[in-house]
Chains A and B, each alone.
Chain A
Amino acid sequence: MEDKYSLKREKLPEIRMPENNIASKNVMSEDQYFFKNIEDQKLFNKIIHELRCTVCQNQSLAESSAVFAQNLRQVIYQQVQEGRREEEITCFVVERYGEFANFKPPFLNYTLILWLGPIIMLLLAFKFFCKNLKKN
């Protein structure tokens, strides 16, 4: 049986070169994180996959090797270790970097179309499909 306080190692991505002109010092070794329990490890993993690396092109924090992403991962790791909840940590990041940092846009007035658009499109497509089926 695994001890509650046994150390669990979380390995993060291999080195990649920066893709834009905003400097991103590369991490020369893989980050290693140690967790008190599996729940913390899962929470950390979930958060870094749902947040965007703000200096890279469409990479999550988990995928990025930029030094700023590494720094933010470290802060998130510390907050997870302190027992902060997922919402608190996400809020901390969004307050500083804006909604852009969040891969999952919130359900707000200006994002309604992002959430409902695909459903409306699907309904319209279904309607046209039925109409054409009747015709044929």
Chain B
Amino acid sequence: MKNFLPFVVIISMCGFLWFALDKTGNASNAQITSKATPSFRLGTVLDPQKIISENDLKGKITILNVWASWCPACQAEHDFWLSMVKDPKIQLIGLNVLDELSEAKNFLINLGNPYEFTIFDNQNKLGMDLGVSGTPETILLDKQGIIRYRYMGPMDSTIWQEKFVPELKKISG
């Protein structure tokens, strides 16, 4: 039994380390969830004079898709958003970050506009307050504007079905 003691100790240590690293090491889980949308006042890409605030992200379930025109992965996922079947209970909102207004406009004009509106955040102030660390990223907000889920990386139908549909069921049920 004594001979096994070092192995037992090492295996237990590895277990604890795994647990501790798992708690701190996952970026998307570590970022803010279950928090209210921070307050903001920003224009939209297609109409910079139209001011949007956190109240516009309440009342309906919101899918907030963070993108930029310079991001190839955002172009890759754009077809998915265009093909998404519209649901009156869900609003798809864009959040354009760290971009030029003209480039962002051209992106929507040339590739199509699946969003109800796209918030223009060239300073990434709202993006940073939401904990956005890259594009594309998709954030799910409930009717009260509370962040319920987030996914970093390009969206496709598999990820949508596997990750978002169960979360949507949870918050709409």
Contact = CB atoms under 8 A, between A and B. Distances in A.
B19 A110 contact: yes
Which interface residue of B71, B72, B134 has the most chain A CB atoms within 10 A?
Answer: B134
B11 interface: no
B4 to A, nearest CB: 13
Interface stretch (B25-33, B54-62, B163-171): B25-33
Contacts of A98: 24, 27, 29-32, 131
Main secondary structure, interface of A, reads helix
A75 B127 CA distance: 13
Interface stretch (A1-9, A38-46, A65-73): A65-73
B115 to A, nearest CB: 18
Contact of A75 (B21, B27, B29, B128): B128
Given A98-B31, A117-B16, A120-B13, A111 B24 contact: yes
Contacts, number: 96
Interface residues of A, number: 31
B19 A117 contact: no
A14 B17 CA distance: 34
Closest 3 CB pairs of A and B: A98-B30, A23-B71, A54-B133
Interface of A: 21-25, 54-55, 66-68, 71-72, 75, 95-101, 105, 110-114, 117, 120-121, 124, 128
